[in-house]
A and B are shown apart, each in its own frame.
Chain A
């Protein structure tokens, strides 16, 4: 257990709304080992982004409540940290790439000044030496980072504003910003979703190569099982704020167990053809008033009385394959 970089234990996150608490995360366990690429897969609104935002401490101010749980980063609880300590982790330990690159970049600053800020913020370039020398060093570093994401003519790009770049380019810049200083853990929140398939393919390949090259760990948030299959070593399947299945990527696709995972897999249109299945009946539960037992039970065709009464815990099925279902 010693080499977990990130270890989330029994995390609950609630949001305050007019009608009461929206109980989104419901006991999430999640960990990342050094050098590992982990996928967090689930449909819209299942709490993937909430989980990772709580790791970085960037949940909407004043609107959330964490009744229980801990997030350990190298054994230290992020939730109990002082702002300076959290700042240190965010500037040196981990960084995040967001889904919408045009929203993540500030439209009124040049790409250059935004990358320089990241470098300055992380404390690099403040070292001894004259100011102009430092400036030169920061610039050099930024150019290096842009080269690493395969954008030609980095000097020109530094002078550009985000609106002068295409979506794929912007996402590459976001990746460049995330890797410009040494980080241990990279959290990518659907980095290819807003892009076309050919561009998505390029961005994913780039991300995978960079993570491998730098020996970083990656958490890949995605709604697409196909993307998770190609990007990760291990997958967490999430449904309505619960982790329902954990397995190595190969194992998960060879031997999916949880009814939700099975339903999701069946819903994906296949290149081999054979028509489209019926999908999963119903929709994600209302978080204000979630089902008492298994949160999937209203949509599950195997459910019976016990599922309605009690929440199934994650059970070890061997070989690191865990699933939270009574019926497996």
Chain B
């Protein structure tokens, strides 16, 4: 029981494949999410980091029920919700929300802000028609916008304000779990800072749990409680933020950390010894055998080319999926 109250969301061995066509009679799949296990505790800001094409958004959409999972189990507050969106109870949908990356395309340009914010209230039957306007005003206040925005359209607003509306829409149903899919990557840093701060304030006030998807590791350093790195549909490394940045283990994590452009000498010192980034993320239709990272890995061993490492807990709470930290098992396999 204690486990269930601790973890708001548990994902077990989740796989999401897409069919993309046939080659020589064999169906070709994109293995966008390929066996991810993850649990998110109540009140956490879980950072999920990865390059484009790593499957981080697919993972989010699968959790939200936008794609049916190919395999695996998703548990939300003790309830199995692996079945996909159409068979989810409405109150689960009300309790988990998502904010998309690009507010330009996730807000309907033909509707005004009032209409946009009313929809979730109507769908979930949260307030009566007469109180609608009052409630919309309230929602706008939570994201620190004046009620005057109600009759504006998304097109007449700046990117930062639009993203605040997306956040307001997600919070309109008073959820307890919110997925933030790169909410600030389309924005300037000075505006990003503002939005991040607002998200953190809202988290505290409304007791929210966030799954924060991003490609920006330095941002995660500042706001996440735990960080997981994804590469080609699998998680490579997962640890509490402090551990993660102080003692990164996985070669991919080290490569990412040493690629980040930084603005001060102190930050430079924090980067691991320069791991020169090489190669590119391979196509997910054609994932390399063995460890999917071995083509770019500076510490590649023979074993890595044919044997896919499993997730191991190197120190308590710090999980790594790499043969370098999996010595005994590696010995067995050979």
Q: Contacts A197-B259, A200-B259, A226-B260 hold; do A43 and B189 have CB atoms under 8 A apart?
A: yes
**Do the beta carbons of B189 and A264 come within 8 Å of each other?**
yes
**Do the beta carbons of A272 and B266 come within 8 Å of each other?**
yes
**Do the beta carbons of A269 and B221 come within 8 Å of each other?**
yes
Q: Contacts A202-B278, A269-B218 hold; do A253 and B263 have CB atoms under 8 A apart?
A: yes
**Cβ-closest chain A residue relative to B223:** A276
Q: Ordered nearest first, which 7 A-B pairs have the shortest CB separation?
A: A226-B261, A279-B193, A201-B259, A198-B277, A196-B51, A280-B190, A279-B194
- Asked if A160 is at the interface of the complex by the 8 Å CB criterion, the answer is no
Q: Can you identify 29 A-B contacts, CB atoms within 8 angstroms?
A: A196-B52, A197-B217, A197-B260, A198-B255, A199-B51, A199-B280, A201-B277, A202-B277, A223-B188, A224-B189, A224-B261, A227-B261, A229-B262, A264-B190, A267-B193, A268-B218, A270-B262, A270-B263, A271-B245, A273-B221, A273-B241, A274-B222, A275-B222, A276-B200, A276-B223, A277-B193, A279-B189, A279-B190, A279-B194
From A196, A200, A269, A283, give the contact of B219 (CB < 8 A): A269
Complex Cα–Cα for A193 and B215 (A): 12
Complex Cα–Cα for A235 and B245 (A): 30
When distances are taken between beta carbons in the complex, the residues of chain B under 8 Å from A264 are 189-190
- Asked if B250 is at the interface of the complex by the 8 Å CB criterion, the answer is no
Most buried by B among A168, A196, A283: A196
Complex Cα–Cα for A199 and B257 (A): 13
Query: 1/0 contact trace for B239-252 toward A, CB 8 Å?
Result: 00100010000000
- Asked if B192 is at the interface of the complex by the 8 Å CB criterion, the answer is yes
Binding site for B on A (CB under 8 A): 43-44, 166, 168-169, 196-202, 204, 223-227, 229-230, 253, 263-280, 283
When distances are taken between beta carbons in the complex, the residues of chain A under 8 Å from B310 are none
From A201, A204, A270, A279, give the contact of B221 (CB < 8 A): A270
In this complex, the interface size class of chain B, counting residues with CB under 8 Å from chain A, is: 35 or more
Binding site for A on B (CB under 8 A): 51-52, 158-160, 188-194, 196-197, 200, 215-219, 221-223, 241, 245, 255-264, 266-267, 270-271, 277-278, 280-281
A49 to chain B, nearest CB (A): 14
Complex Cα–Cα for A263 and B191 (A): 11
A174 to chain B, nearest CB (A): 16
B65 to chain A, nearest CB (A): 28
When distances are taken between beta carbons in the complex, the residues of chain B under 8 Å from A225 are 263
When distances are taken between beta carbons in the complex, the residues of chain A under 8 Å from B160 are 283
**Do the beta carbons of A43 and B190 come within 8 Å of each other?**
yes
When distances are taken between beta carbons in the complex, the residues of chain B under 8 Å from A280 are 190, 193
**Do the beta carbons of B280 and A166 come within 8 Å of each other?**
yes
**Cβ-closest chain B residue relative to A43:** B188
**Do the beta carbons of A263 and B52 come within 8 Å of each other?**
no
From A169, A263, A271, give the contact of B190 (CB < 8 A): A263
